[in-house]
Chains A and B, each alone.
Chain A
Amino acid sequence: MDLSLLPDGGMRWLDAAGPKSTIVLSTRIRLARNVRGIPFSQRAKDGDRTAVLERVSDAAASSEHLGTAVAFHLDQMERPERQLLHERHLVSKELAGLERESRPRPGAALLVQDQVGVMVNEEDHLRLHGMWSGFDLEDAYAAVEAVDAELGRLVPFAFHPEFGYLTSCPTNAGTGLRASVLIHLPGLVLTKEITKVLQGLSQVGLTFRGLYGEGSDVVGNFFQLSNQTTLGKTEDELIDHLGRIVRQVVEYEEQARDVLLRTAPEEVEDKTWRAYGLLKHARQLSFEETMNLLSGVRLGVGLKLLPGPGVYTLNKLLIYTQPAHLAAMDGRSTGDRELPTVRAAFVRRLLEAESS
């Protein structure tokens, strides 16, 4: 399986071309769908899963939006390759089978074309998703919705007039829509306002989690904000609501950065330069430390305290310093003890290339 088949590695969002992309890294839309009359994943037998994949693949092949999609059959891929796809946010930990030793069951697949993908046989038969650079809910939704509309004409989806799209877990029923933004909030963390903001989120029906994986650990001051409910509101209402709140959070973050610059300019400047210095010169870096240093540099770049690197480079570092990416680049295993050394060397190389 060759990831180079994917133009821009399936991560065009890294280019930081979208609105507000120094604070909002990316916008993600996901729609959960199931094929009518086939048991959900919990009860599906291998034959059911294969039938789902065949139907989706046939439909994709005859569709406009997925007609030239690259297909990844996760049950036939080795663990490091599956982890690569997960680190690129293209498949969930569950679909990649990273939580257990055995391979994913038959039928576990990912189809990708341009910025839109379909996870097949995840918790729901289909999880359509798209990731856009910056804060761009409208474009991301329009693209995923177009794929949904086309597939829905080719594959019969499970739908109920009262409950809407039917999903394996009732928390996703109705629209099946989860919209989320990946947002960098160091200003709110440093001014200790973050707790209030996150509490406020849960009161307006939003939820947050960390940058990577299911552990919801917040590293590097990166947060994913998304809608909590999916039923009883239209897709546009859910997206508008998230959009309004995110705009507010971005505003709070900008205010917090102003406060930092006004009240502790030397400290902030020192912090960002230190982070930059460590990244440029350290000989060993853990993933978590890298994330935290990248956060400091990103803040410095956003505040124009640092001359560089560009946001594109910072985004690339977020992805390529993860264990499976480093290991793949250097022909090692993800558990290799020298990974921190390899990581530091890679970070130095990328930053030097940028500043030369």
Chain B
Amino acid sequence: MLCDNCKERDAIINLTQVEHDSKVTLHLCEQCAQQKGVETGGAVLKSPLGNFLGAVVKGGGTPGALVPASGDALRCPACGSTLRDFRDSGRLGCDRCYVSFDTHLRDLLRRLHGSSQHVGERYDLPGKQGGNGVEGSDDPRSRLLELKAQLRRAVEGENFELAAELRDRIRVLE
């Protein structure tokens, strides 16, 4: 494969960068890699992050590749995607995947971030502050939005009786 940068010399280094929008893999020759600030003598791999980058590169460029193949058949009951899908694409299917594959993901998150425990801001679901779900929400706006979402689902599912009831409740709130 030729170097992505100069298109002349053979690429010997795969540089994978995880950026805020996506992942980019560049195939570079030694000279171009050095120009881009990559030490080609193995110094990158000595850093803690180097292990991650190295592993990602070997596995084809996604963090999914860091997960062992032994769990391939595991399937998320919510969205139907398997751990194999994640290994291939590096993307999870839905929020429930984090529960369905939690053992594998905990291990992966530790390797990626050095920890799997979120210590940042806590989040409470809308209406959760009251402790009894959306129905008990003290913020009428979030209650209204939830009802509207339910109404759309009811209409899509052709459940018109429920839809009519929801519409009435929305009118009252509005």
Contact = CB atoms under 8 A, between A and B. Distances in A.
Interface string A147-190: 00000111111111111111011110111011010000000000
Nearest to B105: A170
A37 B43 CA distance: 43
Interface in A247-286: none
Contacts of B90: 169
B116 A232 contact: yes
B95 A229 contact: no
B98 A160 contact: yes
Contacts of A153: 126, 139, 141-142
Nearest to A175: B120
A157 B79 CA distance: 17
Nearest to B140: A62
B37 A194 contact: yes
Contact of B20 (A40, A178, A195, A231): A178
Contacts of A165: 118, 123
A52 to B, nearest CB: 10
Nearest to B52: A228
B17 A209 contact: yes
A30 B113 CA distance: 18
A154 B145 contact: yes
Contacts of A168: 91-92
A208 B15 CA distance: 12
Given A40-B93, A43-B81, A173 B109 contact: yes
A24 B61 CA distance: 31
Q: How large is the interface on A (under 10, 10 to 19, 20 to 34, 35 or more residues)?
A: 35 or more
A68 to B, nearest CB: 16
Interface in B95-154: 95, 98-99, 105-106, 108-109, 112-121, 123, 125-126, 134, 139, 141-142, 144-146, 148-149, 152
A51 B152 contact: yes
Contacts of B21: 92-94, 122-123, 214
Interface residues of B, number: 60
A229 B113 contact: yes
A144 to B, nearest CB: 12
Interface string B80-91: 110000000111
A59 B37 contact: no
B117 A175 contact: no
B165 interface: no
Contact of A164 (B91, B93, B118): B118
A122 B20 CA distance: 12
Given A171-B18, A198-B37, A234-B119, A47 B141 contact: no
Contact of B109 (A94, A152, A231): A231
A58 interface: yes
Most chain A Cβ neighbours within 10 Å, of B44, B118, B141, B142: B118
> 9 smallest A-B Cβ distances: which pairs?
A232-B115, A164-B118, A158-B95, A198-B37, A178-B20, A231-B113, A42-B91, A175-B120, A43-B93
Interface of A: 28, 30, 34, 36-43, 47, 51, 54-55, 58-59, 62, 92-94, 122-123, 152-166, 168-171, 173-175, 177-178, 180, 194-195, 198-199, 202-203, 205, 207-209, 214-218, 226, 228-235
Interface of B: 5, 17-22, 24, 26, 34, 36-37, 39, 43-44, 47-50, 63, 79-81, 89-95, 98-99, 105-106, 108-109, 112-121, 123, 125-126, 134, 139, 141-142, 144-146, 148-149, 152, 156
20 contacts: A40-B92, A93-B21, A152-B123, A153-B139, A154-B139, A156-B134, A161-B118, A166-B95, A169-B91, A170-B63, A173-B113, A198-B37, A199-B39, A203-B47, A209-B17, A214-B21, A226-B19, A228-B49, A231-B116, A232-B115
Given A39-B79, A209-B17, A226-B20, 18 more contacts: A42-B89, A42-B92, A43-B79, A43-B93, A156-B126, A166-B95, A174-B113, A174-B118, A202-B44, A202-B49, A207-B17, A209-B19, A209-B24, A214-B22, A231-B115, A233-B119, A234-B120, A235-B121
